Amino acid sequence: MNSLRRPHHPSELSPTRSLSLIPTTRSLSLVVPLVVPKLSARSLSLAPLILALVCAFALSVPTLSAADPLNIRELQHQLTNGAPQSVADTLAQQAELQPNSPHIQYNAGVAAYAAHRWEDALVAFDRVETLNHSTLVNLARFQRGNAEYQLGVESRSANLDETIARWRAALDAYQVVLKNAPGEPRALENDTFVRTKLLNLLMEEARKADDQANQPNKTPAQRIPDLRNAHEKFSEAHQLSPVNPEAERGESDTKNRLAEALKQEGMRNAQTPLSLKSSRREPRLPEVDASKLEQGISQLEESQQLRPGDSQVEEALKKAKDRLADAKVKQAETFLALEEQIPITKEKLALLRMAREQIDHALEQSPNHQEAQRTGEEIDRRMAQVHEDEGDFQEQQSAFSQPEQQAMQLSQALDHFQQASELRPNQPRLQAKQEQAEQKLAQTLDKLADKLMQSPGAQEPMEAKAARLEGAEQALNELQAIKPSDRTAQRAEQVGKELDGLRQMLAEKGQKPSESPGQGDPRNGAQPMPAPPQWMVPPLDGPPRINQPGNKGQAPRSAGRNIRDY
């Protein structure tokens, strides 16, 4: 067997690596054996990039005929003599032609690796794992670890975080190999090599960040980012090598110093005076600027997590949270006072929900805050009153409306009464109004369904009939949800069967039953569709909306963040 030398690439192969050609008399398939000779401490041990010709029968892969366009000896010659790009192109093309051949995919990955196309190599090795070949899966994982390492080397000057992530991925790949093949020497060797490189990198970066944090005349605020970076790197290094004393000391030291810097900066920010600011989106809504106070609380909480038991931090944190709760209550009271000046129901509810949200935030900071509890009760009372008033209005208006409009108004009235009852559950008056609106809505839906089930005439277009029956079906479904009965269920089933037949006929004509007016193919006899009944927009069974109450459901309290959203 002849041996040819391949040019050395830094951080890849040792200068003594060679590529061997193994001749056979049978049809051939390319594979790469996993043989890693010893390397110096400065080089990564990688599987040699050898295009070895082995018996296809032994490998149980499709054979390549003599007429196959792949010239094995030529590919071997090109790779050995420093032309890996051409080999990678050829094998990449062959991999696309034989996507289910794990050996072709594996060789394409090795050739891409030799050509320094690390990402392409990862893709190819991932394909081998997907194909789950019993022999090649572990080889592909090993080679994937090597490619991840090389990508980390490339990114080191531009993106240190990517380097760390890539080298961690390489270690993960080696660990999987070792889990499946305990004690595998090549995986152990590369795992040790990459682990050492990553440890040295983490320690180097940790020392740099620590030195930056120790510069004189830096304030606690300026030290925090450097100390956090140093602590993270020392912690990662200690996790990577638990027996490394410098990593352990560095982790402990930077943890204490970071906790102290966060404590000092947190106490300072927690004492920053509060101020009012105008919202750029809604100038008439003054907001309390508590950003510094919130930052201080976050810093004190982090300090407490790093160093539990500091009584000064505990006391400062409690005071800061009480102060923030006070600010949230004041903000809620501002919204509450402004609500009385607004005549439009949806905007009144928007402000009240925003006020409720502020109270919720206050109680998160200080659960026993009495003023927050009292203001929250007042907000709930006002929201219930607004809902009740709007429900009364919609119910009164429904008496003068046509069935479609009447159904929509009664549905909204019922929704308002339900939300008012949820806010004030011990009010019999609200329960009575809810039951009355529900009864009226049921009667209206029953009449509306009867009306829509009746054909207006023999000349009704098929599309208009489908829209009419869809309205009837929706009315009956809503009626069944409110007041179930066998009669309603039977009518709904009848309408549903008729609709199914219409939809089938419309589908055969190439139209949809809910096409907008003017749509459809005129050659198929399409007629302009009438607009859907007003009560159908929005649907009666649709979810609640912020600016228009939906059907049966309390509007979410977290919705009212800004009045312009409503």
Each of the 566 residues of the chain gets a pLDDT tens digit; together they read: 332 223 233 343 322 233 322 222 222 223 333 222 233 333 344 444 433 322 222 222 333 333 355 676 777 778 778 888 988 998 999 999 999 989 889 989 989 999 999 999 999 999 999 998 888 999 999 999 999 999 999 999 999 999 999 999 999 999 999 999 999 999 999 999 999 999 999 999 999 999 999 999 999 999 999 999 999 999 999 999 999 999 999 999 999 999 999 999 999 999 999 887 766 666 567 788 899 999 999 999 999 999 999 999 999 999 999 999 999 999 999 999 989 888 999 999 999 999 999 999 999 999 999 999 999 999 999 999 999 999 999 999 999 999 899 999 999 999 999 999 999 998 899 999 999 999 999 999 999 999 999 888 778 888 888 999 999 999 999 999 999 999 999 999 999 999 999 899 888 887 554 444 444 444 444 444 444 444 444 333 333 333 333 333 333 333 222 222 22
Q: 119 is written with which tokens? A: 């990402």
**Number of C-beta neighbours around residue 250 at 10 A:** 24
Task: Find the helix packing angle between 370-398 and 428-453, rounded to 10°.
Answer: 40
DSSP 8-state symbol, 156? T
Residue that has been written with the tokens 């899966």 in this structure: 137
CA dist 405 and 535 (Å) reads: 5
pLDDT score of 456: 81
Summary count for the chain: helices (H), strands (E): 18, 6
pLDDT score of 426: 87
If we measure between CA atoms, which residue out of 4, 146, 26 comes closest to residue 75? 4
CB 49 within 8 A of CB 79: yes
What 314-320 contacts at long range (C-beta under 8 Å, 24+ apart), as own/partner pairs, is: 316/263, 316/266, 316/267, 316/270, 317/266, 319/270, 320/266, 320/270, 320/293, 320/296
Contact residues for 556 (Cβ-Cβ < 8 A; gap 6+) = 353, 544
Residue that has been written with the tokens 């000057």 in this structure: 157
If we measure between CA atoms, which residue out of 56, 43, 33 comes closest to residue 12? 43
CA dist 226 and 380 (Å) reads: 47
The single-letter code of the amino acid at 198 is: L
If we measure between CA atoms, which residue out of 364, 369, 361 comes closest to residue 287? 361
CB 76 within 8 A of CB 51: yes
pLDDT score of 284: 66
> What is the CA angle 141-145-150, rounded to 5?
145
Q: For the CA atoms of the chain, what is the radius of gyration?
A: 37
3-class DSSP string for 464-507: HHHHHHHHHHHHHHHHHHHCCCHHHHHHHHHHHHHHHHHHHHHH
pLDDT score of 511: 56
CB 505 within 8 A of CB 465: no
Q: Domain boundaries in the chain? A: 3-181, 205-270
CA 220, 223, 229, 231 dihedral sign is: negative
Assigned CATH topology for domain 3-181: 1.25.40
Note the pTM of the prediction, 2 decimals.
Answer: 0.68
Cα-based torsion angle of the residue sequence 549, 550, 552, 557 in order, rounded to the nearest 10 degrees: -60
Pairing of strands 52-55, 28-31: antiparallel
Length of the chain: 566
pLDDT score of 73: 73
Q: 327 is written with which tokens? A: 């600010």
pLDDT score of 544: 31
Q: 490 is written with which tokens? A: 């039977």
Q: 83 is written with which tokens? A: 């032309």
Q: Distance of CA 498 to CAs 138, 514, 515, Å?
A: 61, 15, 18
